[in-house]
Amino acid sequence: MIAVIQRVTASSVVIEGQIKGKINDGFLVLLGVCLADTTEDVEWLAKKILCLRVFGDEEGKMNKDLNEIEGNILLISQFTLHASTKKGNRPSFIEAAKPDQAIPLYEKMIELLSAGLGKRIETGIFGADMKVSIENDGPVTIIIDSQNKR
């Protein structure tokens, strides 16, 4: 499971011309589920996201996590994070999980992130054509891969 986590001052997702999710200060998380992923990967990654200390403290150092700043999360499914470009110029997505495997793990991530924040997180719609707006703060972008825990 790959997460691209962007610290944002604002982010939103539009589907078919309608705003589906919108946040201010917090994280935009792009989430790619691969064939090897399990519930254990979701649990590990959710904890990492919630505990990631990349928000400024009183001295301007990155020491605070989402809960400390009362931040928000916009979670977007993105199978293209598992693109392989080793051969040719057309990416292969054979490592990306199919919807029957990916959707339950994506939904579990929503559940764990919401519980960890103590409030509802914003989301896109799995598999939809989405227009994502990002106002990256910093910029700060962190990539975490649950298949590479060490």
User: What CA–CA distance (Å, rounded) separates 143 from 87?
Assistant: 23
User: Is 79 inside any structural domain?
Assistant: yes
* Strands (E) located in 36-130: 55-56, 62-64, 72-77, 122-123
Asked if the structure places residue 46 within a domain, the reply is: yes
* Residue 27 placed within a domain: yes
80 is catalytic: yes
Does residue 32 fall inside a structural domain?
A: yes
Instruction: Report pLDDT digits (tens) over 39-55.
Output: 999 999 999 999 999 99
Point out the catalytic residue in the list 79, 85, 126, 147.
79
Secondary structure class of 48 (helix, strand, coil): helix
pTM over 0.75: yes
103, part of any domain:
yes
Domain range spanning residue 93? 2-145
Residue 141 bears catalytic tag: no
**CATH number of the CATH domain containing 41:** 3.50.80.10
How confident is the model over 20-33, as a mean pLDDT?
98
150 within some domain: no
Whether 115 maps to a domain, the answer reads yes
How many independent structural domains does the chain possess?
1
